[in-house]
Amino acid sequence: MPRAPYTQEISRQNKACFLFLLDQSFSMEEPLGSSPNRKCDELCTAINGWLQNMAIRASGDEGIKDWMDVGVFGYRTDRLANPIIESALRGPLAGKTLVSISEIGAHPARIDTRMQRLPDEDTGEMIEVPCEVPVWVDPVAEGGTPMCHMLYRAHEILSDWISKHPRSFPPIVVHITDGESQDGDPMPYADAVKRLATEDGNVLLFNCHLSMTAADPFMFPSSNEGLPDDLARVLFQMSSVLPDPFVRHAVAEGFPLQPGARGMAFNADMVCLIQFLNMGTQAAPGLR
């Protein structure tokens, strides 16, 4: 009797795979939402924070558990409109396609000092405390948006990984963009990626759109109807329907999900982006 999909335990034997596809086009230089910070800066803050969390979670008493392979890719074009699809990792891991989480933990590009905001228990005020954060990716914003090329490359990377991990929880692809594809219709490429599968189910493709205007975000919509424009509708079609564990987690976090909700966020600001990233990881069984 076949087991339900998306239930494979994540372990050293059956690793998980997370692949980030980051829009590095020129418009990523614009501010995110109504904050003064640029989209590319906020995105890197979020990704670096996510990587640090995963590295910490993967480390236990017996050293780092290699539960996960991670890839972080950026896509943009050069001045001649040639697509540049490359790993966004810096430092010792520069240029690597997929690395294990233990390698992430061991080899940040550098350590930065950033100000962390914390509530002060005694007075209820928010205070800023300098803290050291590891950095793996840096902001890039130039050129256009070759989304199809990126998805094509993602397909190659994932096919290869799946052939080596046929029984694993299916790879999760998190695509973050702020605009439309400029090298053609991305739908067929997205479909191809979603057709890839392990024994535990199809690859999950989640899409998050970052907005410059302080617009209302749409998180995990279940239908095209309420979406404000064509770009939103395309991203919606590109996104996988959320499997049950993800739905349960999102509902527990307070998102009012309808059946058929997709892993998609539109007009995300920094809070939505972080929530979106967290949702992807926390819901996977065993990856806690």
Q: Of 32, 53, 54, which Cα lies nearest the Cα of 43?
A: 32
For another protein, which residue of 2, 126, 163, 288 counts as binding (CB under 8 A)? 126
Q: Is 114 in the site for another protein (CB under 8 A)?
A: yes
We find the least distance from the C-beta atom of residue 267 to another protein, in angstroms, to be 6
**Does position 75 bind another protein by CB under 8 A?**
no
By CB under 8 A, tell whether 29 contacts another protein: yes
Longest dimension (CA), the chain: 58
264 binds another protein (CB under 8 A): no
Site for another protein in 146-165 (CB under 8 A): none
- In the three-class reduction of DSSP (H, G, I as helix; E, B as strand; rest coil), residue 232 is classed as helix
# residues contacting another protein (CB under 8 A): 47
Residue 6, classed as helix, strand or coil, is coil
Tell whether residue 31 is a contact of another protein (CB under 8 A).
yes
The residue to which tokens 């605009």 are assigned: 179
Q: What are phi and psi of 278, to 5 degrees?
A: -65, -40
Least gap, CB of 62 to another protein (angstroms): 26
Do the bridges between strand 99-100 and strand 110-119 make them parallel or antiparallel, or are there none, so unpaired? unpaired
User: Residue 59: which residues within 8 A CB-CB, separation 6 or more?
Assistant: 65, 105
Q: Is 125 in the site for another protein (CB under 8 A)?
A: yes
Tokens, residue 21: 């596809």
String marking each residue 81-100 x if it binds another protein according to CB under 8 A: --------------------
Stretch that binds another protein, among 55-63, 74-82, 94-102, 263-271 (CB under 8 A): 263-271
Task: Read off the tokens for 168.
Answer: 């694993």
Stated as kind and residue range, the H or E segment containing 278 is: helix 270-282
- The site for another protein (CB under 8 A) is made up of 29-31, 33-36, 42, 45-50, 52-53, 114-119, 123-128, 131, 133, 211-216, 225-229, 267, 269-271, 274-275
